[in-house]
Amino acid sequence: MKNRSRSRVFWILGLFLFVAVWFGTIGHRALFQTDEGRYAEIPREMLATGNWLTPRLDGFKYFEKPPLQYWATATSFLLFGEHTWSARLYTALTGFLTLLVLGWAGTQLWSARVGWLAGAVGASSLYLVLMAHFNTLDMGVTFWMTLNLFTFLVAQSQPSNIPRRRAFMYMSWVASALAVMSKGLIGVVLPGCVLLLYVFLRQDFALLKRLHYYGGLALFMLFGVPWFFWITVRNPEFFHYFFIYQHFERYLDGVAHRPGPLWYFLPILLLGVLPWVREAARVLGTGWRRSDRQKLDGIDTRFLLWLYVVFIVVFFSLSSSKLPSYILPVMPALALLIGQELAETKPSHLHAAFILTAGLALLGMIVTPFWMASIRPAGVARVYGRVEPWLMGIFGFLLVVSAVAGWLRRRGTGTIALVTLLATGWFVAISLINWSAQVLDPVYSTRAFAHALKPWNRPHRPFYIVANYQQSLPFYLRRTLTLVAWRGEIGYGIGLAKQAGHLNDRRFIPTLAAFHRVWMAHPQAVAILRKGLYTRLVREGWPFTVVASNVRRVAVVHP
């Protein structure tokens, strides 16, 4: 009894420490360019203007994504204030919930052993953990797509239990709607395509009769349609831009200028499954022919999970627009498959994970000094030099963890303990990487830059950002900026404002020549420029006095 009590205390303490580390790191590092600043600034403007219907970035309409995360972050700001940590709270929370749902699904579909191991795999994934601590929309949509998938699998795992099946299917429908509200049609199109493929490949057409359409569609419409309806009513231009341009033209034509080869996502997938590469190769290589159907009327869980992973990776690999975060939604499904594989793995077969961890740690210790020496320019190199001791320490820590795990394996330690130890080591290492990245703030963030501008940041004083746009700067300054000779992704919103006759010199200045006239007429103004442009304009005789700077930019006023 005493041993059981001690074990319970140990696991409770471990969970507490995990939660403390998971959420305790979300405010240490500043918001990095560009996504983190953008997805903090849009909710800040929602709160400042009171308009929660139409998203805006720097005061211009911004229709690229639906508003669920904007609403959640704005609510976080309302409750806790506008801080770096409150900007990341929703992302960190959905990442944490993804791990909980992963463990729950493994337990429901197979056993508590599978649930624990799957959760450990998720917690040790560099890709998943870092994305859960990075303020983008991808972790949120990953959580809702994961909840949609796992509740669907649990519902169909006991299809004859109709009340249970109905309850979990309703949860699946709601999660699907919230996935759409997170990032658009991929939240329903990708899972829907996987389902149809499964039905045809397995010839399981009876499954289509067990989806509880009437109640499910009603819930989907309730949670997923009203915002799209009302924003289209208030902004008729939204429909074409969001549904046609963002979903189809970007995918087919590469208009977003994010190309990549067919194998673009393979290194990212490899990074996401470290150090469980052997197990990932087994489940991906044989998943298409490994049946897991428990009953004649049940669902082949392993095959559907395999199909889910492969289809989404192939789908985005064929796209003309690629970003590393696009395949994040496959990671929980893959972690569940790896967890199920680990549950059947003997401790003696875990050596690949230990050796890979040790090898990568040694390689990192060798390569890091050469990488640091190659960084240019000098100002950026000095900043990166501060992270080198952290990286060397992290690699050394992983080397020790792998050595201890190998020693314990030789002493007969079981699979669960070994996997937990290695996963804990990786999670701690990833958390240290996230923590140490704070030293890169001068290169990738504007928090310190904005703080230096505080004496000049007054409501009546114009602030111009010239020929570039720092997405975190408006958030840290708590104000919008006047864009000069730059459109970028705000170009569509600028065009709408011009059509409506709402464009003036306090919102957008199209050229440097036009800006020169405005600058000379407003001696109280502040301008932010890249250092190269600043040097060029000084040579041309522009009157500037530098009041703040970082490694890449300067802020100037009139002398």
Amino acid making up residue 497: A
Interatomic CA distance for residues 442 and 41, integer angstroms = 19
Q: What is the pLDDT of residue 295?
A: 44
User: Would you state the pLDDT for residue 3?
Assistant: 62
SS (H, E, C) 42-111: HHHHHHHHCCCCCCEECCEECCCCCCHHHHHHHHHHHHHCCCHHHHHHHHHHHHHHHHHHHHHHHHHHCC
pLDDT at position 91, please? 98
Euclidean distance between CA atoms 131 and 35, whole angstroms: 12
Find the length of the chain. Answer: 559
Prior bond of 34 cis (ω within 30°): yes
Starting at the earlier edge strand, list the strands of the sheet with 482-484: 508-509, 482-484, 463-466, 526-530, 553-557, 545-549
Instruction: Write the pLDDT tens digit of every residue in 146-201.
Output: 999 999 999 999 888 999 999 999 999 999 999 999 999 999 999 999 999 999 99
Q: What is the pLDDT of residue 292?
A: 59
pLDDT, tens only, 39-91: 999 999 999 999 999 999 999 999 999 999 999 999 999 999 999 999 999 99
Q: Which residues of the chain have pLDDT under 50?
A: 294-296
pLDDT at position 296 is 41
510-515: long-range contacts, CB 8 A cutoff, minimum separation 24: 510/485, 511/485, 512/466, 512/467, 512/484, 512/485, 512/537, 515/464, 515/466, 515/484, 515/485
Distance, in Å, from the CA atom of 308 to the CA atom of 291, rounded to the nearest integer, reads: 15
Residue 255 pLDDT: 55
pLDDT the model gives residue 78: 97
| pLDDT at residue 378, rounded to an integer | 80
